Amino acid sequence: MKHLVGKVITKKVAFMGEEVTIKKMGLNEIFEIQDQASKASKSKNEKEQINLLKFVLKKAVEGAAELTDDDFNQFPLAELNSLSNEVLNFSGMGNETSGNLPTVS
């Protein structure tokens, strides 16, 4: 099993009529997201929820780490939420598995 450490698992998903590649996050990345989600849930600032959404996407969507805040602001919120759900489900922490999705309303 040691030979599989660090292996990246990916899949293509639909986003705004195109395909993007997402990766299955490892435990360290999931722990980071859980920490960010905990901080965001304690904040009354909606921007914290948006920042959490961006954090998730930057961690798991190919090319998203290079996007600026202004770039993210050009996307429809519903599309970003949908993509985030795909990422979290693929990584084992979405609605299909735990019901603890950091989505923005």
The structural domain count of the chain equals: 1
Per the domain annotation, does 103 fall within a domain?
A: no
Q: What does the pLDDT read at residue 95?
A: 60
Residues 6+ apart with CB under 8 A from 80: 53, 57, 72, 104
- Global pTM value: 0.82
Give the residue numbers spanning the domain of 29.
Answer: 2-90
- Let me know if residue 68 belongs to a domain: yes
- What three-state secondary structure class fits 14? strand
Tell me if 104 is assigned to some domain.
no
Residue 96 lies in a domain: no
What was the pLDDT predicted at 105? Answer: 45
Q: What are 50-87's pLDDT values in tens digits?
A: 999 999 999 999 999 999 999 999 999 999 999 999 99
Q: Could you tell me which residue, 11 or 48, shows the higher pLDDT? A: 11
14-45 residue pLDDT tens:
999 999 999 999 999 999 999 988 888 888 78
Residue 98 lies in a domain: no
**E strand or H helix that includes residue 12:** strand 10-15
Whether residue 63 contacts residue 70, with contact meaning beta carbons closer than 8 Å, is answered with: no
- CA–CA gap between residue 75 and residue 79 (Å, rounded): 7
Specify whether the CB–CB gap between 62 and 20 falls below 8 A: yes
